[in-house]
Structure 1
Amino acid sequence: MPRSPDRGWKVIAYLFGKLTQKAPTHLVVDVGGVGYLVHIPLSSYERIGEVGGPVRVLTYLHIREDGAELFGFATEEERELFRTLISVSGVGPRLAQAVLSAMSPEEFRRAVVRNELHKLTSVPGIGRKTAQRLVLELREKFGPEEPVPLEEVPTEAVEVGRGPSEEAFLALLSLGMRDAEARTALARARRRLGEEAPIEELIREALRG
């Protein structure tokens, strides 16, 4: 079943009430005598008001089979990036929260567009493959400002066939894979999917390892 990250946003758009507890990772907001526990990133913590005062928090309700969690944000930009992140395969709300705690939305977009895997993997919980998947799935959506030059990889050195296989190989190199690592991953993907598999499927399969 396809993921639907928009549903939680539409259920509870925001909370307005009294801030009764504030910590770097969560808040408690009293709305009409009911205390709502809201998980927040550090970026929002710095912008939220003081305990005892009124507060308005943008929210996203994440529903799981075993329960539900409410995530809060100080700005629409933070919430929008959160929703974008959890739409990526393998990225859950806690990891999205960690991303927003480690860098601003603009810093994250820049890291994705520039293929700065070292910055993405500096976020707790993001390994190399997850970082590569984030770049693969979000780079085009963010709009590449500074595309990684593929001319750094000599075309004559690529001996992996023509068509989708060659394009997939170059894409894997641009995502940060070493030559030998890319060849091995691509060969494995071609065995699983067949020689005529589309480039998008080859890349995704190669990144899965």
Structure 2
Amino acid sequence: MIGRIRGTLIAKIPPEVLVDVNGVGYEIQLPMTSFYQLPNVGDEAIIYTHFVVREDAQLLFGFSDTSERALFRELIKANGVGPKLACTILSGMSAQDFVHCVLNEDITNLVKLPGVGKKTAERLVVELKDKLEKLSKADANFDAGAAPTMVDIKKPLLHGAAHAKDEALSALLALGYKPAQAEKVIKQVYKEDMTSEQVIRESLKSMV
């Protein structure tokens, strides 16, 4: 199991990054909530990881802290939820907000996430409620009674309308959104001089 990566961040193409560790490059996919917290390209990054081995691939999923990774691990234990859908869920809302939705049986907000229909949302509530109650008691980062918070964007990615829109579109498609839906929401939220991270964040926010 690869549980933690520490190295130089050499590429950021949301929702993936490439981290150099002593000459070995690790490709890691992150939920956008964790992606927002990454340092600039060229800086040292510490990413907590979950290693997935499949017949056709070996994949690394990364997180900014162990709390989000713990939630990811609970999500992929749920019936019908794989690593990609778990990343999409954690990109569409913060880990704290997801815990809040499950504990309060907020199906309305859960079904706004791509790949989460009503049956899946109901199943998530049934299967995860007890587990997340225990997790929230053990981890102060999952204060289910707190008001939802959004992650601040501290580091820009690419500048320029074309770059920002193209990178945002690629990220949304990778997260499971349909092309027409992604293009429409990007057009709605884009404002002059926005970075790609800002476009992605505002797009995800508007769809949840």
1:143 partner SS: helix
Q: CA deviation at 1:142?
A: 2.2
**Unaligned residue ranges in structure 2 (runs of 5+):** 135-143, 146-208
Look up the match of 2:120: 130
Letter in 2 for 1:46: Y
CA radius of gyration, larger in:
1
Q: Contact between 1:14 and 1:58, CA under 8 Å: does it hold in 2? A: yes
* Among candidates 1, 5, 30, match of residue 40 of structure 1: 30
1:122 alignment partner, SS class: coil
| CA positional deviation for 1:39 | 0.3
SS in 1 for 2:10: strand
Whole-Å separation in 2 of the counterparts to 1:143 and 1:55: 31
Q: Distance between the aligned counterparts of 1:28 and 1:112, measured in 2?
A: 33
The structural deviation recorded for 1:81 is 0.6
Q: Provide the identity percentage.
A: 41
Q: Which TM-score applies when normalising by structure 2?
A: 0.63
- RMSD over aligned Cα atoms: 1.5
The 5 A counterparts of 1:1-209 are 11-143=1-133
> Contact 1:23 / 1:45 at 8 angstroms: preserved in 2?
no
Q: TM-score, normalised by structure 1?
A: 0.63
- 2: CA distance, partners of 1:91 / 1:19: 29
2: CA distance, partners of 1:16 / 1:139: 33
Deviation string, structure 1 residues 92-113 (Cα, Å, up to 9, x no partner): 0000000110111110011011
Point out which structure has higher relative CO (alpha carbons under 8 A, 6+ apart).
2
Name the SS for the 1:96 alignment partner: helix
